[in-house]
Amino acid sequence: MKLQQLKYLLAIVDNGLNITAAAERMYTSQPGVSKQLKLLEEELGLQLFVRKGKSLDGITAAGHQVIDRARVIMRETENIRSLAADYYQEEEGALSIATTHTQARYVLPDIIAEFRKRFPKIGLNLHQGTSEQIADMITNNNIDFAIATGSKDLFAGLILVPSYRWDRAVVVPKGHELTKLGRKLTLQDLARYPLVTYVFSFGGQSSLKRAFENEGLEPDVVFTARDADVIKTYVRMGMGVGIVASMAADCADQKELQVIGAEGLFPRSTTWIGFRKDAVLRRYMVEFVKLFAPHVTTSQLEEIRRATTQDEIDGLFEQNELPVRGACVDSIIEAA
């Protein structure tokens, strides 16, 4: 058994059981990959793939087990290389982050700008997706960090560092009736208008629906989208009242939109940054965590890494110690 054979095996799996594609991805010849797979199967004495003629048509039960183990092995070799690199190439490397649109568009820009200033030679890869896709990416691809909100159960096996909390904000076209209430917004107010908000697959988002239900209200959601930019576009078109994460309520929107704070109407959400428990964090990665969650101290991070359960980690942070990110303050219409 050779590391390369395992690497090729995973490449084949990750390229839809297409050996040719796998070979290209590995920058090598197709017969080479084919042969190594054959050698591996011969050495182990079992078929890893189901053949259909000459093509690979599926993965055998044994194959799945071997593949899982091979992934662990390749991850550990990566870890060894990482920690080696950390000893002599402090400033070089790459950082791959998987996250949702809201983070990528509204939260990360400032943080990444600062990060680039400190580590100009580190390559950055930003991957976007739903919570499910993010969970998939961090287990199968080489992603260093996942950043998401709620849905902790999707990310078992990761260490999740609670980073900040946020409320929803209500976005309306300039001069909308709701801006003239003269009192604090209520759910009843919102229920009277057609609503535009996130699709529910998004993390703790069903908590929005539940908030209405708790008051016996049936919200009239006319449109859902995955990201706040789309939502705001439709709000501008007068399609309805938008409910977005408050970070997405940008000062730049002020020309056409107005933002009404919605603190207290919906439960506060907590966004965390997560990484694999068995991953080696290079120094610049630790720095990134600290940029994203500045309230975390070095000693806390060490405690976190020693922790065995997620509850233990959450226990390290008083909920109300976490910073709260708000909307662009200029644009908020406060309660009377």
Q: Which residues of this chain interact with its own copies, rule CB under 8 A?
A: 1-3, 44-46, 62, 65-66, 69-70, 72-73, 76-77, 79-81, 83-85, 87-89, 280, 309
Which of DNA, its own copies, none lies near 19, with the C-beta cut-off 5 to 8 A by kind? DNA
Minimum distance of DNA from residue 77's CB (angstroms):
15
CA distance 29 to 166: 51
Closer to DNA at the Cβ: 19 or 138? 19
Residues that bind DNA (CB under 7 A): 2, 4, 17-20, 27-32, 34-39, 51-56
Cβ pair 202, 131 in contact under 8 A: yes
Choice between 77 and 297, CB closer to DNA:
77
Q: Which does 54 bind (CB under 5 to 8 A by kind): its own copies, DNA, none?
A: DNA
Task: Output the smallest distance, CB 131 to its own copies, in A.
Answer: 21
Q: Could you tell which of its own copies, DNA, none binds residue 29, using a CB distance below 5 to 8 A set by kind?
A: DNA
Task: Work out how close the CB of 2 gets to DNA at its nearest, in angstroms, rounded to a whole number.
Answer: 5
CB nearer to DNA: give 39 or 111: 39
Strands 194-198 and 145-149: unpaired
- Report the residue number, 84 or 335, with the smaller CB distance to its own copies: 84
Q: Which does 192 bind (CB under 5 to 8 A by kind): its own copies, DNA, none?
A: none
CA–centroid distance for 190 within its chain: 29
Write the Ramachandran bin of 145: left for phi over 0, alpha for psi from -120 to 50, otherwise beta.
Answer: beta
Tokens 């990134």, residue located:
288
Write the CB contacts of 102 (distance below 8 Å, at least 6 apart in sequence): 149, 227, 228, 244, 245, 247, 248
52 binds, among DNA, its own copies, none (CB under 5 to 8 A by kind): DNA
CB of 189 to its own copies, least distance (A): 45
Separation CA 105–CA 84 (nearest Å)? 33
Backbone angles phi, psi at 221, to 5 degrees: -85, 110
Backbone angles phi, psi at 266, to 5 degrees: -125, 155
The entry of its own copies, DNA, none that residue 32 binds, CB within 5 to 8 Å by partner kind: DNA
Distance between first and last Cα of the chain: 72
